[in-house]
Chain A
Amino acid sequence: MAWHRIKALIIRHLYLYKRSFPRIMDIVFWPFLELLLWGFLSMYLRELNLPGANIVSVLLGAVIFWSMLNQAQRAVSVSFLEDVWEKNFLNLFVSPLTLSEFIVSRALIGIIQIIIVGTVSAIAAFILYQFNILLFGFALIPFVLELLVFGWTLGLFTIAIIFRWGTDAQIIAFSLLFLIQPFSAVFYPVSALPETVQWLAYMLPSSYIFEGMRQVISGGGFPGEALIWASAINLIYLVGVTVLLYFVFNKVKAMGRLLKMD
């Protein structure tokens, strides 16, 4: 794996952010707007004095984490789509660039975007609602990393689908996360789901991540078990999706469809 090739792809995408207002909006403005919406709602709920609740913290934490997952997934899949829309694949893959380097570059773009989204959201939550996510210290960091890995996995899955079915399937890049949101226990515990669909939630690392995050924020101690489950499921999915992506890539090369994705 050659670092200079990975760096080249990262630079190529960073150039886009230098002068594209919609792209900057995507990683700064929309997460901020979401934070405003849920922040106001949680402030209202606090005024109602509902029992048992550190509602503001739990909801704002969920919103920040959700924005991070969203960015991690979209950084991978949308940066891939940028090259599809620009018909840049031939230029990229007639160079010595390998699929592994291509994947790693997308993952690193995800880290950059998640740092930006996390920072903007944390600062905004602190200024607007005096919610300091840093107070929860290192206990949240492993969950952020798990979110990042799950976001990559979903992004790579989207790439595999678009490789195989072309840009007809590009809507998945924007909607996949919303398909799993109801089962990810983002704003409510898994126990709030009907029993018949709870098994679905337990198959998603995101449900363990959000439940773990809630436990940390509400002062219930470090949820080691949730972290272990999230890591194990994440690992299985990441390995599975990576194998799928290589399989699809080779299949697409054999079918001569690498340059015919649109």
Chain B
Amino acid sequence: MTAILEVNNLVKKFGNFVAVDGISFKMEEGTITGLLGPNGAGKTTTIQMILDIISPTSGEIKIFGKPMHRHRDEILSKMNFSSPYVHLPNTLKVWENLYTFARLYGVKDIKGKIGELSKQFDLEELLPKMTSQLSSGQLTRLNMAKAMLNEPKLLLLDEPTASLDPDIADRTRMIFKKLQKENGISILYTSHNMEEVEEICDRVIFIQRGKVKDEGTPDELIKKYGHKDLNDVFLTIAREKV
């Protein structure tokens, strides 16, 4: 399998504070990889560097085999991001948001694509509504639809089910599995819900204090640490003394 994302010796310093301290990992094409760690471990900074929102202090990020800093436009046109903490403009209607972002990503058949995604994410009746009127679950579905507009090959999801009730969260996970299976999308996934990670991630990477502490399949890690589930593995790693 080829690596869709390669992070080599990535460092990010904010003054004297080292947020990311020489992280290296690879993510294989077509997999769902969990990027895990306690609050302040460096996950968000790492994701934002992958998205080119923060410039690394040193190190290299290669996506689709190409360095991010030299092929930004080409790479970003083939990837996308979704988080329940990042909202689309509230002052626009749902379809206006989708239309604007479809244009931004250069989608050819905009109406067809919006129709297809609104069906997939159950947004059809919401299209004429103002975005400010949507519930958290509806906003998450809208964000997901926006993230799928450009048919990304790599999708970065930051706690995508954080604000969803168990039913919608389960349905959302099914969508991720379906996208992976049918479209071959690779997903980098952060979550604090270890049960969910165990369910959908092929591989997980644990980050603690800006360093990669461990990585492997959920089963491998549970076995290695001698625990019954990934939640206990998380607790062991998070509570490890420096």
A and B are interacting partners: yes
Q: Which residues of A contact B (CB under 8 A)?
A: 2, 4-5, 7-9, 11-12, 15-16, 20, 82-83, 86-88, 90-98, 250, 253-256, 258-259
B80 within 8 A of A: yes
| B54 part of interface (Cβ distance < 8 Å) | yes
Q: How far is the CB of B151 from chain A (nearest CB, A)?
A: 14
Report the separation of the CA atoms of residues A212 and B90 in the bound assembly, to the nearest whole angstrom: 44
Asked whether A95 lies within 8 Å of B104 as measured between CB atoms, the reply is yes
Instruction: For A255, give the chain B residue with the smallest CB separation.
Output: B14
Task: Flag B45-87 by CB within 8 Å of A: 1 or 0 each.
Answer: 1001001111101000000000000001110110011010011
Q: A88-B89, A258-B54 are in contact. Are A94 and B103 (CB under 8 A)?
A: no
Residues facing A in B87-130 (CB within 8 A) are 87-93, 96, 99-101, 103-106
Given contacts A253-B54, A258-B53, contact A12 B105 (CB under 8 A): no
Pull 24 A–B residue pairs with CB atoms less than 8 Å apart, ordered by A: A4-B103, A4-B104, A5-B106, A15-B92, A16-B91, A20-B91, A82-B89, A86-B91, A88-B87, A90-B86, A91-B86, A92-B104, A93-B51, A93-B52, A94-B76, A95-B105, A96-B77, A96-B105, A253-B53, A254-B55, A255-B14, A256-B19, A256-B54, A259-B53
A107 to B50, CA, bound (A): 30
Smallest Cβ-Cβ distance to B57: which chain A residue: A254
With A7-B103, A96-B76: A15-B90 Cβ-Cβ less than 8 Å:
no
- Please list the residues of chain B having a beta carbon within 8 angstroms of any beta carbon in chain A: 12, 14, 19, 45, 48, 51-55, 57, 72-74, 76-77, 80-81, 83, 86-93, 96, 99-101, 103-106, 146
CA distance A256 to B54 in the complex (A): 5
Measured in the bound complex, the distance between the Cα atoms of B74 and A8 in whole Å is 18
Task: List residues of chain B with CB within 8 A of the CB of A83.
Answer: 89
B75: nearest chain-A partner, CB-CB: A96
Report how far A95 CA is from B51 CA in the complex, Å: 9
| Closest A residue by C-beta to B15 | A255
CB <8 Å contact, B76 and A91 = no
**Considering only CB atoms, which chain B residue lies closest to A259 in the complex?**
B53
Query: What separation, in Å, do the CA atoms of A5 and B100 have in the docked complex?
Result: 9
Residues of A within 8 A of B92 (CB): 12, 15-16
Contacts of B14 in A (CB 8 A): 255-256
- Known interface pairs A8-B104, A86-B91; A96-B73 also in contact (CB < 8 Å): yes
> How would you classify the secondary structure of chain A's contact residues: helix, strand, loop or mixed?
helix
Is there contact, CB below 8 Å, between B88 and A88? yes
Chain A residues within an 8 Å CB radius of B100: 8-9, 11-12, 15
User: Which residue of B12, B104, B106 is within 8 Å of A9 (Cβ)?
Assistant: B104
Bound state CA distance, A91 and B54, in angstroms? 14
Q: Are A86 and B55 in contact (CB under 8 A)?
A: no
| Minimum C-beta distance from A29 to chain B (A) | 20
How long is the Cα–Cα vector from A203 to B30 in the complex, in angstroms?
59
Residue of A nearest to B143 (CB): A91
In the docked arrangement, what's the CA distance between A78 and B81, Å?
Answer: 26
Closest 3 CB pairs of A and B: A8-B103, A8-B104, A96-B73
Report yes or no: B104 in contact with A15, Cβ–Cβ below 8 A. no
When chains A and B are docked, how far (Å) is the Cα of A253 from the Cα of B72?
Answer: 14
Question: Is A94 touching B81 in the complex (CB atoms < 8 A)?
Answer: yes
The residues of B that contact A259 with a CB separation of less than 8 Å are 48, 53
Cα A86 to Cα B53 with chains together (Å): 17
> Which B-chain residue is minimally distant from A7 (CB atoms)?
B103
Is B101 a contact partner of A90 (Cβ separation < 8 A)? no
Q: State whether B45 touches A256 (Cβ < 8 A).
A: yes
Q: Check B87–A8 contact: CB distance below 8 A.
A: no
Contacts of A96 in B (CB 8 A): 72-74, 76-77, 105
Further pairs besides A5-B106, A86-B89, A94-B80: 18, Cβ < 8 Å: A2-B106, A8-B100, A8-B104, A12-B92, A12-B96, A12-B100, A15-B100, A86-B90, A88-B88, A88-B89, A90-B53, A93-B52, A95-B105, A96-B74, A97-B104, A253-B55, A256-B19, A258-B53
Closest CB in chain A relative to B28 CB, distance in Å: 22
